[in-house]
Amino acid sequence: MKKVQFTETVMRDANQSLMATRLPYADFEEILPVMDKAGYYSVECWGGATFDSCLRYLGEDPWERLRNIRAKMPNTRLQMLLRGQNLLGYKHYHDDVVEKFVELSIKNGIDIIRIFDALNDFRNLGTALESVKKYATSRTIASGCISYTQSPVHTVDKYVEMCKNLVKMGFETLCLKDMAGTMSPYEAEHLIKGIKDAVGDVPVILHTHCTTGMAYMTLTKAIESGVDVIDTATSCFSNGTSQAATETMFYAMQQYGIETGLDEKVINQVNDFFKPVKQKYVDSGLINPKSMATDSQALVYKVPGGMLSNMIANLKDMNAMDKFDEALLEIPAVRKDLGYPPLVTPLSQMVGNQAVTNVLVGERYKNISNEVKNYFKGEYGISPAPVDKGLQEKILGAGGQPVDCRIEDSRRTGEDFEKAKKALGDLAETEEDLMSWICFPKQAEDFLKSRKEKREQVVKYTIEEA
Ligand code: CO
């Protein structure tokens, strides 16, 4: 019998896509033992923006949150999203930091680490992958993830080649990550068939978003074409900029006689639990109705939805909405000059801002942003296709070549941990505290200070009571 398994994303991507990752642990704690019985392939519950959001907005220790989820869900694989050498941020960390982060993630409860790089520069996945292998338990899975995008150079053959490379590196599963939700059913069919033909038994996972309205068709075609795992969100946290609905996909698969491993009663119970949670954030305004709607603009303009709204906001700010059409045409031109990077953070902002600048200044690349300069210097990795030679020369000088930041940047010095110890003093009680500071210094310090204050208050009250 054909089998397709489900990854439930309500705690991570659905939370991140619909409500800016503001879902506190207390809001879902009660349902975790129930979710543990659902029969998911995995639950994506950590990584991405959850770490930063815990420290910055929720006053939660992300590590403690993970340990709590682990304790309440002993039987389900817990999954996280990791941005390769950038961990959960946008800069390159030293190799010893990446290794320790992976070690602590596994130690605190993560089973599946899905690792990607915004540019698909797989050198940025190497250290994280080696670390996963080094600290792996019998449940650990290293999943190699590709940022999906469309461009003249992103052909099926190119994606198949990428998948082969990831398998060669030692990844045990492969994931296509369509963050903009622009993968069509046609594309899914050809990609999944091509990849499955090339990699044989390696499980292939599809991660997409409903943003443009295509996700259900695309997932269905992917399933017909042999995909092994799909990412979905419990239905009240599905659709819009989030994933397709778990129960809906389950229902459809059942009629085809496809085995999912899911318990229908349990997945409905999970949805019933989250309904009032969602309503609370609709009422408070944290969930914007816009994020729950379908927006096909990304298909029309070939620009991810978030990038388009950013550009419109920028143009409005500068009273230059009359330049909208021109700016829209300039985006693909800038993207071509940069060698067709996938339009994800931070590349989407970089390309969008440079396009708007080019149009507003009235001369292309008269002003070049520091981010674009750094990109040409090689600080973000290798571009998917060669960059524009003229522009490269303008930025790096005649004969200038990008440097390999990976080599310069990957020393194992322990210096970051020393810095963290010095900065935090007795605020740091564990390696996890130090790691929080290395990743998000200001947010971690504020959080650890308030944790200390709260504890001292508790001690004071206890003494007074006695
Ligand atoms: Co996503």
**Per-residue pLDDT tens digits for 67-84:** 999 999 999 999 999 999
Q: What is the pLDDT of residues 212-236, one digit of tens each?
A: 999 999 999 999 999 999 999 999 9
Instruction: Please tell me the predicted confidence (pLDDT) of residue 90.
Output: 79
Query: Percent of the chain at pLDDT above 70?
Result: 98
Q: Is residue 22 within 8 Å of residue 286, measured between CB atoms?
A: yes
Ligand 1 centre distance from Cα of residue 177 (Å) = 7
Instruction: Please tell me the predicted confidence (pLDDT) of residue 128.
Output: 97
Q: How far apart are CA 56 and CA 160, in angstroms?
A: 39
Ligand 1 centre distance from Cα of residue 209 (Å) = 6
Ligand 1 centre distance from Cα of residue 406 (Å) = 26
Helix (H) or strand (E) holding 199: helix 185-199
Burial of 135 per CB tally in 10 Å (0-12, 13-18, 19+): middle
Mean pLDDT of the chain: 94
Instruction: Please tell me the predicted confidence (pLDDT) of residue 413.
Output: 77
pLDDT band at residue 465 under the 50/70/90 scheme: low
Does this model's pTM top 0.85?
A: yes
* pLDDT at residue 409 greater than cutoff 60: no
* pLDDT at residue 407 greater than cutoff 60: no
Ligand 1 centre distance from Cα of residue 242 (Å) = 8
Q: How far apart are CA 169 and CA 163, in angstroms?
A: 10
Ligand 1 centre distance from Cα of residue 439 (Å) = 21
* pLDDT at residue 466 greater than cutoff 70: no
The average pLDDT across 243-272 equals 98
Instruction: Please tell me the predicted confidence (pLDDT) of residue 291.
Output: 87
Ligand 1 centre distance from Cα of residue 368 (Å) = 30
Instruction: Please tell me the predicted confidence (pLDDT) of residue 405.
Output: 60
The average pLDDT across 354-371 equals 96
Bigger pLDDT: 200 vs 105: 105
Ligand 1 centre distance from Cα of residue 178 (Å) = 7
Ligand 1 centre distance from Cα of residue 370 (Å) = 27
Ramachandran quadrant class, 350 (left: phi over 0; alpha: psi -120 to 50; beta: rest): alpha
Residues sharing a CB contact under 8 Å with residue 71, sequence separation 6 or more, in sequence order: none
Ligand 1 centre distance from Cα of residue 452 (Å) = 35
Q: How far apart are CA 302 and CA 183, in angstroms?
A: 11
Neighbours of ion ligand 1 (CB under 5 A): 13, 179
Q: What is the pLDDT of residues 32-67, one digit of tens each?
A: 999 999 999 999 999 999 999 999 999 999 999 999
Q: How far apart are CA 446 and CA 437, in angstroms?
A: 10
Q: What is the pLDDT of residues 154-210, one digit of tens each?
A: 999 999 999 999 999 999 999 999 999 999 999 999 999 999 999 989 999 999 999
